[in-house]
């Protein structure tokens, strides 16, 4: 794989007004190669790692872990969970991430429809 020309960029997309779900995109030389979505509740200080995706040709390079670290850095002090995803590749990645798989649902999130 050739060296990056423009480097890696993390672009944070905060939750839209009235929602709780945000997204961080990882770009390599201005091309999207991965993203993570998370849903948080500021009132409960809880967060759920909803989805992590890294393009197949960029896997096993630490990009998924970088995306998760970026998500956590945006919400320090929150209690995080990450449900076990569907699919063998996603499950293999998820089993290497030390997050609880489930927690009681946030009372605020349960009352919303954007999750």
Specify the CATH number for the domain of residue 89. Answer: 3.40.630.30
Q: What is the pLDDT of residues 79-95, one digit of tens each?
A: 888 887 788 887 788 77
Q: In 3-state terms, what secondary structure has residue 108? A: helix
pLDDT for residue 98 is more than 80: no
| Counts of helices then strands in the chain (DSSP H, E) | 3, 5
Query: Mind listing the pLDDT tens digit for each residue in 2-41?
Result: 555 778 899 999 888 888 899 999 999 889 999 999 998 8
- pLDDT at residue 3 in the model: 53
CA–CA separation, 45 vs 75, rounded Å? 8
Q: Total domain count for the chain?
A: 1
Q: What is the DSSP string of 84-96?
A: PPSSHHHHHHHHT
Between these two residues, 32 and 114, which has the higher pLDDT value? 32
Question: What domain range includes position 83?
Answer: 8-106
Evaluate whether residue 18 is within a structural domain.
yes
CA atoms within 13 A on the CB side of 67: 33
Comparing CA positions, the residue from 64, 47, 68 lying closest to residue 55 is 64
């Amino acid at each position: 794989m050739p060296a990056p020309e423009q480097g890696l960029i993390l672009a944070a997309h905060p939750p839209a007004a009235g929602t709780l779900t945000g997204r961080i995109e990882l770009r390599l030389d201005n091309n999207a190669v991965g993203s993570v979505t998370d849903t948080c509740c500021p009132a409960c200080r809880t967060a759920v790692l909803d989805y992590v995706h890294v393009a197949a040709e960029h896997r096993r390079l630490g990009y998924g872990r970088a995306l998760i670290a970026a998500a956590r850095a945006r919400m320090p002090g929150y209690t995080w969970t990450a449900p076990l995803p569907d699919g063998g590749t996603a499950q293999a990645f998820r089993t290497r991430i030390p997050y609880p798989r489930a927690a009681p649902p946030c009372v605020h999130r349960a009352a919303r429809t954007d999750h």
